[in-house]
Amino acid sequence: RPLAFANPPPLARPLPAADVPADVPADLPADLPAYAAAYSSPAPPLCRAGEERTRALLPSGAHMVSGAAQGRLLASLAAAARHGRVLEVGTFTGYATVCLAEGAAAAARATGTPGRVLSLEKDRRAFEAAKRHLGAMEQHGTGEAAAARVRAAEEEESEGDVAAFAVEDGRAAVELRRV
């Protein structure tokens, strides 16, 4: 998918040389999050729905969701990983895990070797939410059908502390473990 470059925010005016650390470019954007969002692809519907569900389910932790720009970066990094193998420590509700799985599947398409994401989570409620998000991805990809499934999910806990998902037509496997 092509990146959207519609009206990126202007660069900030340069700081006086005395105020800029030697390793920081002087022409950084004034509002870096807005700048990153302007130069990033939009988050897939599943990620947006997962973010909404996280705010409803775990409002005190909603700030820990990766967000669109970071999620797109994670997908790109996972796609660049050799053979699409990723270890994620701290799944939370699965936003970043979905992005990593997207990238692992892209690496699998490029290398012909199935990608693999191993993700670890300690919190039971976050683990259950992540299982719902990854289950929706397994069944419906990252589009609107998956988002609708996540929005309609019930808040019941399932048995087991390990869940496995095959995503992107089996190009990548995601193993989620509660530790």
- Tell me which residue has tokens 């690496």: 107
- Given a contact cutoff of 8 angstroms between Cβ atoms, the answer to whether 136 and 128 are in contact is no
pLDDT at 2 over 50: no
Q: 117: closest CA among 175, 47, 177, 178?
A: 175
Give the E-state strand segments of the chain in sequence order. 85-89, 115-121, 162-167, 172-178
- Tell me which residue has tokens 């719902």: 132
Q: In the predicted model, what is the mean pLDDT of the chain?
A: 84
Q: What is the pLDDT of residue 1?
A: 46
Residue 108: what residue type? A
DSSP 127-159: HHHHHHHHHHHHHHTTSHHHHHHHHT------S
Residue 140: what residue type? H
Give the least confident one: 27-36, 49-58, 124-133: 27-36
Token pair for 145: 């059908």
Domains of the chain and CATH, by start: 8-39 (no CATH), 45-178 (3.40.50.150)
Please, which pLDDT band fits residue 17 given cuts at 50, 70 and 90? low
Q: Report the C-alpha gap between 103 and 51 in whole angstroms.
A: 19
With 0-12 / 13-18 / 19 or more C-beta atoms within 10 angstroms meaning exposed / middle / buried, residue 59 is: exposed
Q: What is the pLDDT of residue 153?
A: 75
In this prediction, residues 29-46 reach a mean pLDDT of 84
Residue 28 CB neighbour total at 10 angstroms: 14
Half-sphere exposure of 175 (CA within 13 A, CB side): 9
Beta pairing class for 172-178 and 162-167: antiparallel
